[in-house]
Structure 1
Amino acid sequence: MILRSNLQICKATSVDIPILVTLLKALFSIEKDFFFDEKKHKDGLNLLINSRNSQVIIVKFENEIIGMITIQKIISTVMGTKVGLIEDFIIKDDYRDLGVGTYLFEYIKDYAEKNSLTRLQLVCDEDNITAKEFYTNKKFKQSNLNAWYYTL
């Protein structure tokens, strides 16, 4: 049984990147819009870890990284404030449905409040029913907006 006292949440460092890339590989296997590209993901994680406007947060159980979430501070004209863009939220399969994701999400909410972020937003694959249920249970509201991408 996993108790919150058995979990450790901390900022990721560059040393953690190889393990985080394996988590991203699992995440991107679920999402139809994205393809695994180890070099790009390593580069992206390095940028996030070294940016003052973002955080890569990991959760550990017995010193094993079992999940991660990234958050970036962006400015919203709708809110007139900084908001948080959540990406790359994943918990290893063996640790799902044990409260780990909820614990990590509570950490991100606390981080957002301490950093005066007024909204958390994310995109979610339409076919990822588990994630959609999780976000609904956490009081996220589905937007009428759809994500669109233009690659340069």
Structure 2
Amino acid sequence: MSIKFRPAQLGDIPAIAALLANLFAIEQDFTPDPARQLAGLKLMLPREDILMWVAEEMLEEESKIVGFCSVQTLISTAEGSVVGLIEDVVVPVEWRGAGIGRQLLEGAEAWARRRGCSRLQLLADEGNLPALAFYERQGWQRTSLHNWRRMLRD
């Protein structure tokens, strides 16, 4: 097994959207919508303040995306600096336990550090117990903050 980690490219977007469909299918707050996922990914790709990081299995004649992580930068008034928001982390079930998620997060952290981010944060569905346990094993800490939202479109 040979896995390569690299920034996403335009040709990766359909495979990333398929990974997101699997993630959103288990989350309570989101519903898979391929058109929206493709649109969002295409908006993200050219931006230098967003990392789209993929894990790619290298096969003899082709390759396959087997993991994805994205980080967007924000300004935090609490920190008085740039911070990173990890929007997505997804690894297919059959690839979990191979270290791909850990390496995706390490790549995201390295990218955020190079940009001067003082903090990374992420959201995880409270019912996704394997993900919560994974983040805890990686040294992430829960906060007392609750996530709230107001939808501005259907």
Q: Give TM-score, length-normalised by structure 1.
A: 0.93
Match of 1:118 in 2: 118
Question: Does structure 1 residue 43 correspond to structure 2 residue 39?
Answer: yes
Shift of 1:88: 1.4
The equivalent position to 1:25 in structure 2, one of 12, 21, 26, is 21
DSSP-derived class of the 2:73 partner: strand
| Structure 1, 98-107 or 28-37: larger mean CA deviation | 98-107
Match of 2:143 in 1: 143
Cα distance between partner residues in 2 of 1:93 and 1:141:
24
> What does the per-residue CA deviation read over 1:48-93, in whole Å, with 9 as the maximum and x for residues that have no partner?
1111211111001112100000100111011111010001100111
Match of 2:48 in 1: 52
Q: What is the aligned-residue identity percentage?
A: 32
Q: Structure 2: 5+ residue runs without aligned partners?
A: none
DSSP-derived class of the 1:52 partner: coil
Cα distance between partner residues in 1 of 2:14 and 2:100:
21
Contact 2:53 2:107 in 1 (8 A): no
Write out the 4+ residue segments of structure 1 that deviate beyond 4 Å after TM superposition: none
Shift of 1:114: 1.2
Match of 2:108 in 1: 108
Shift of 1:115: 1.2
Amino acid at match of 1:17: I
Match of 1:92 in 2: 92
> What does the per-residue CA deviation read over 1:70-129, in whole Å, with 9 as the maximum and x for residues that have no partner?
100111011111010001100111110111111111111111111111111011100011
RMSD: 1.0
Q: Give TM-score, length-normalised by structure 2.
A: 0.92
Amino acid at match of 1:110: A
Amino acid at match of 2:72: Q
Matched residue pairs, number?
148
Q: Structure 1: 5+ residue runs without aligned partners?
A: none
Shift of 1:40: 0.8
Cα distance between partner residues in 1 of 2:51 and 2:103:
16
Shift of 1:24: 0.5
Cα distance between partner residues in 2 of 1:14 and 1:147:
31
| Structure 1, 9-18 or 21-30: larger mean CA deviation | 9-18
